[in-house]
Chains A and B, each alone.
Chain A
Amino acid sequence: MELHLILIFMIIAAIVAVVMKDLISSLIALSAAGLGLSLAFLILKAPNLAITQLVVEILVIIILIRATIRRDLPRVIDGRWVFNTSATLLFIACFLVFGYLALKELPDFGEPAMRASAGYILSGFEKTGAGNIVNAITSSFRSYDALGEAAVLFAAIIGLLAITRKAGRVRHEK
């Protein structure tokens, strides 16, 4: 029941974030939606995900506010609203149909298919000795996945360093 209330709150906050014309107000509504997602993770008994979601949401909102506080982009409303509206409705219909077809094939909510992960949960505590089973799995059995995430983060930082370096700009101006 609480989960449904939070989901409705998140949907309203997301719609407000899209509709709002002021960029700062839109960011505040977006952070409300992220807080709702963190609470939903807590209700579904996933405190690991809740902590990560809350912290990353704060970081993203701070960076977005710092990056967008001085350049408020105006909304572009041109004359082609018939084409835009029909294309939007078409894509929403496609998304709903394919989403329904895909969700029908998935296992039920709360009863996942435990083909590979059952072994991890059964033998995870004896093999690693870690009380937090989520961290034990992600950093021992599934360590390559975490290595991939770390590689993505590292590549993002290196790419940003390469973009913002000063030497390339000076040479380009000459």
Chain B
Amino acid sequence: MKNETGMTLIVKTVTRLTTGLIMIYGIYIILHGHVSPGGGFAGGVIIALSLIHLVLAFGKDVLGRKFTIERGVFLMSLGALVYLVYSAAGFMGKRQIPEGAAGSGIFNTGLIPLGDISLGLLTGIGLFVIFMLLVSLADREEK
């Protein structure tokens, strides 16, 4: 094997098959947060778990240059900013959330999906940043 870091070949193969499914399930839970059980926080944690799954199986350097802590903090802060605007919009007008038509579709519920998506971005990327920071801290202490 060319890549010796991480766990065994069995774990790596299973991880390669399942990580995408787990992440799609997290995105599904975020987008359907106002229709079925779930929401921004739970879906965000599932997305963070799929990324953590990848890092645990393949080692710390699997994401390479695509994901750095700075980019993670940027995405996380973007989510937090959008959620702040979404949530503080009640100060501006009399009504906090624009009214949606009653129904159970995805797109006819006002602005609630926007809040779910931004909270999911904050939670998912933020918890993964916490995990990466703890991993790098533990590796630095071992040296």
Contact = CB atoms under 8 A, between A and B. Distances in A.
Interface of A: 47-48, 50-52, 55-56, 58-59, 62-63, 66-67, 70, 125-132, 134-136, 138-141, 143-144, 146-147, 149-150, 153-154, 156-157, 160-161, 164
Contacts of B29: 51
Given A62-B52, A66-B138, A126-B102, A143 B126 contact: no
Contacts of B12: none
Interface of B: 29, 33-42, 45-46, 48-49, 52, 56, 69, 73, 76-77, 80, 83-84, 86-88, 90, 96-97, 99-104, 108-110, 112, 115-116, 119, 122-123, 126-127, 129-131, 133-138, 142
A112 B133 CA distance: 42
B39 A48 contact: yes
B42 A129 contact: no
Contact of A143 (B108, B115, B127): B115
Given A140-B110, A154-B80, 6 more contacts: A47-B37, A56-B45, A62-B52, A128-B97, A132-B34, A161-B73
A141 to B, nearest CB: 8
